[in-house]
Amino acid sequence: MKRVVVLFAALALLPAGGAQAAHAPNDPYYSKQWGLKRIDAAAAWHRSEGKGVIVAVLDTGVSPHEDLPTRMTGWDAINNRSGANDVDIHGTHVAGIIAAARNNGRGIAGVAPKAKVLPVRVCEPNHCPAAWAGLIWAADHGAQVINMSLGPEMMAGAVLGAADPFEVYAAARGAVVVASAGNEGEPVCGHPGLTTICVGALDKVGGLAGFSNYGAAIDVVAPGVDIVSTIPWGYGSLSGTSMAAPFVSGVAALLIEMGATNVQAASIIMATAEDRGLPGYDHTYGWGVVDAKAAVDLCAQICP
């Protein structure tokens, strides 16, 4: 969950219907969402918006927000009680990247704007003592996609490169598990790749962000620099692999709505990624940059 903050501010809500392309959503900050454009999300929405897909956000919680109408009550795994309001800004920011409402004249649009956000509070601002308990809870309570924008340095008992039994359990329950690679700039992914999609961060010019981890366990990369999203009192911009992972979780939700299994969704995301770096798989970009349009187009052909 360690993050790099490039810009942070509560952005005043603009009136709906500003100067935008006729085909673009009327969300005021859509023009600032370079990440959506980079993964070609708008071209994917004619096939799927992730409607009804439950995406668990394991994080600092998710606060109620005008742009997150599908936020569910969730669970506080630290205190073992219902409700998971954000004790920081991180979880709310991650949730908006995944599922902020589209074309509602407010804020931003999410990758899967009709997905349901299931907040699971597993983190304090600088530590995630309940990550594994939250992962099990999410898997047992209907999560179809589980986003873990938190690195192993945040989690008790994490073992780099090992197929963690908790993540294997969630995958066995049918969830797509997506995790951030970590922000140490080191050649290691913060989560195992066997059952988890490990995501590095892409910068605005198409290279690997300087802070992003990489290495043999990286699966794909996604936008992770200066990402505008929801925060508890408005909108703000953050950077980190924590911001890259929810782009992939959003695409997974698009595919699940179309009928993909968790295994199919993960395979499609990697198979359709836009190749970067050396031809084919490499240790910098994995299979490449996640591509929402290519993913849903392939799913339309092969998913149930």
pLDDT, one tens digit per residue, over 132-142 is 899 999 999 99
Band of the pLDDT at 9, cuts 50, 70, 90?
very low
Residue in 288, 270, 274 with CA at minimum distance from that of residue 200: 288
pLDDT of residue 198: 93
Rounded to the nearest integer, the mean pLDDT of the chain is 89
Tell me the average pLDDT across 186-193.
73
Q: Does the annotation count 267 as an active-site position?
A: no
pLDDT of residue 158: 45
What gap in Å lies between CA 60 and CA 260, rounded to an integer? 29
pLDDT of residue 304: 78
| pLDDT higher than threshold 90 for residue 117 | yes
Tell me the average pLDDT across 5-15.
37
Of 59, 67, 164, 219, catalytic: 59
> What pTM was computed for the model?
0.91
pLDDT of residue 202: 98
Band of the pLDDT at 154, cuts 50, 70, 90?
low
Strand partners, 136: none
Of 48, 76, 86, 90, catalytic: 90
pLDDT of residue 190: 65
pLDDT of residue 193: 54
Q: Does the annotation count 191 as an active-site position?
A: no
From the candidate CATH numbers 1.10.10.10, 3.30.70.580, 3.40.50.200, 3.40.50.720, the one assigned to the domain spanning 30-302: 3.40.50.200
Which run of H or of E encompasses 152?
none
pLDDT of residue 169: 87
Tell me the average pLDDT across 261-272.
96
| pLDDT higher than threshold 90 for residue 269 | yes
Tell me the average pLDDT across 165-178.
88
pLDDT of residue 82: 97
Question: For residues 100 and 94, is the Cβ–Cβ distance under 8 A?
Answer: no
Of 48, 180, 242, 249, catalytic: 242
| pLDDT higher than threshold 50 for residue 302 | yes
Q: How far from 269 is each of 278, 286, 304, CA to CA, in Å?
A: 18, 12, 16
What gap in Å lies between CA 39 and CA 41, rounded to an integer? 6
